[in-house]
Amino acid sequence: MSDPLLAALLQSIDEGQPVALVTVIRAGGPAAGWLGRRWLVWPERPPQSDSSTDLPAALLAQARRCLQEQRSQVVAEKIDGGPVDVFVEVQARPPTLIIVGAGHVALPLAQLGKMIDFDVVVLDDRPQFANKQRFPMADRVLAQPFEETLRGWPINANTFIVLVTRGHTHDVACLLEVLDSPAAYIGMIGSKRRVNAVFELLQKERGIAPEKFSRVYSPIGLDIGAESPAEIAIAIIAEIINVYRGGRAVPLSAALRADRRLPLHPGRTG
C-alpha cells in the first residue's frame, strides 16, 4: 500500500486496536502550513505521522482524550501562533461482552452479542459447556475458574459483564470480583426476591455500602415479559444497547428500586 499511514490505520482496525486519525482541517496565520497534516494516535504507542512533523503535545492529549471517551470530534488549538482546527476521527475497539456462565441463556446471548458487533467472551469452569463447538460465534471461549479469571481480566469502561452462571453462589462470588471495576455494565440474573436477599446479605456480612449495588442491573434485562432463554437474552441485549447508546428505556432494576412493591412482570409477582 502506497500510504504507510493508511496501512497502519487499517492494520490497527483489523487487530481491534483503538486508534485515532488526526487531520488538520483548518489552519491560518503562521500555522497555515499545517493544513492537511495527519497523524495516527494510539492510547500508549507514540504517534505516527505522514511527514516529519511531530504532533504537538496539546493535540496529542486532546486526541487521547477522544480515544478515552470513544468520541470523534473537532478540536481547536494554536500552533506556531496560528489557529488550527483538527478533526480527531476515533476508530474505537469494539465493546467487550463477557458472558459469565455457559448455560441456556448464554448461547442466544452470545449470538445476539455478535450481531451487534461486540467482542464476545464466554467464561465457564465446565469444559463440556465452555467450548468452541458450543459457541462457534464467540471470539473467545474460556474453560477457566470464574473468580480467578475475572480478577485478572483487564476490565475497562468498554466492558459489559453479564452474570448468568449455573448457581447463586457463583453469581455472588463473581459479582464481588467485578463490583468495583470500571465496567460500563454489570448485570446479574435472578428473581426480585433472590436479588434483594443477595444484596442485603452482602451488606450485612461484607459491609458493602448499599449504594454500590445501584450500578448492578438485577433483575437483569428490560421488562418485556421474557420467559424462554432466547427471550431473556433479547431482554438483556436490549438493556445493554440501552446503556451503550444512552437510550431512554427504564431498566427493570431501576424501576424495582424505585418501588419495591412493583411486580417483576405485569400480572405476576416477582
The CA distances from residue 89 to 18, 27, 67, 92, 223, in Å, are: 11, 18, 9, 9, 36
The reported pLDDT for the residue numbered 71 is: 87
Separation between Cα atoms, residue 96 and residue 94, nearest integer Å: 6
**pLDDT in the model for residue 269:** 43
pLDDT at 97: 98
Q: How far apart are CA 39 and CA 198, in angstroms?
A: 50
Task: Report the C-alpha gap between 124 and 140 in whole angstroms.
Answer: 11
Please report, in tens digits, the pLDDT of each residue of the chain (270 residues total): 468 899 999 888 877 788 999 999 999 999 999 999 999 999 888 999 987 788 999 999 999 999 888 889 999 999 888 999 999 999 877 899 999 999 999 999 999 999 999 999 999 999 999 999 999 999 999 999 999 999 999 898 889 999 999 988 898 899 999 999 999 999 999 888 888 888 888 888 888 888 888 899 988 999 888 999 999 999 999 999 999 988 999 888 887 777 666 665 554 544
Per the DSSP assignment, residues forming a β-bridge with 237 are: none
Report pLDDT for 253. 85
Which domains, and CATH codes, for the chain? 4-91 (no CATH), 96-258 (3.40.50.720)
Q: What is the pLDDT of residue 263?
A: 61
Residues, the chain: 270
The pTM score is: 0.74
